[in-house]
Amino acid sequence: MTLQVFGLPVARGVAIGKAVLVASSRVDVAHYFIGPDQVEPEIERLRRARDVVADELAGLKRDMPSDAPAELGALLDVHLMLLHDEALTGATKQWIVERHYNAEWALSAQLEVLARQFDEMEDEYLRERKADIEQVVERLLQALGRNGSVLAAAPAPHPADWGGEDPLVLIANDIAPADMLQFKRSVFQGFVTDVGGKTSHTAIVARSMGIPAVVGAREASHLIRQDDWVIIDGDAGVVIVDPSPIVLEEYRFRQRQSELERERLARLRHTPAVTLDGERVELLANIELPQDAPGALAAGAVGVGLFRTEFLFMNRNGELPGEDEQFEAYRAAVQAMQGLPVTIRTIDIGADKPFERMSHNELRHEHTLNPAMGLRAIRWSLSEPSMFRMQLRAILRASAYGKVRLLVPMLTHLGEVRQTFEALARAKQQLSDAGVPYTDVEVGAMIEVPGAALLADSFLKHFDFVSLGTNDLIQYTLAIDRADEAVAHLYDPWHPAVLRLIANTISAAHAAGKGVSVCGEMAGDPAFTALLLSMGLRSFSMHPSQIATIKQRILRADTRRLSHHAQAILSSDAPEEACCRLLRGDTGRETSLH
Q: Is 426 annotated as a binding residue?
A: no
Whole-angstrom distance, CA of residue 406 vs CA of residue 417: 13
CB-CB contact of 450 with 501 (8 Å): yes
Q: Is 345 annotated as a binding residue?
A: yes
Whole-angstrom distance, CA of residue 467 vs CA of residue 351: 20
Q: Which of 100, 519, 543, 565 is catalytic?
A: 519
Q: Is 308 annotated as a binding residue?
A: yes
CB-CB contact of 445 with 463 (8 Å): yes
519 among known catalytic residues: yes
For residue 512, the surrounding DSSP H or E stretch is: helix 496-512
- Phi, psi angle pair for 356, to nearest 5°: -60, -25
Cα–Cα nearest to 178, from 356, 384, 371: 356
Q: Which of 100, 201, 543, 565 is catalytic?
A: 201
365 among known catalytic residues: no
Cα–Cα nearest to 241, from 172, 162, 163, 169: 169
Helices (H), 148-210: 177-183, 201-209
3-state SS, residue 171: strand
Cα–Cα nearest to 173, from 201, 200, 193: 193
Burial class (CB in 10 A: 0-12, 13-18, 19+), 450: middle
Whole-angstrom distance, CA of residue 65 vs CA of residue 213: 54
CA angle 416, 510, 522 (to 5 degrees): 75
Q: Is 448 annotated as a binding residue?
A: yes
519 DSSP assignment: -
CB-CB contact of 293 with 332 (8 Å): yes
Whole-angstrom distance, CA of residue 200 vs CA of residue 217: 13
Q: How many CA atoms, within 13 angstroms, populate the side-chain half-sphere of residue 354?
A: 16
List residues with catalytic annotation. Answer: 201, 519
Question: Residues at the annotated binding site for phosphoenolpyruvate?
Answer: 308, 345, 471-472, 482
Q: Which residues are annotated as a binding site for Mg(2+)?
A: 448, 472
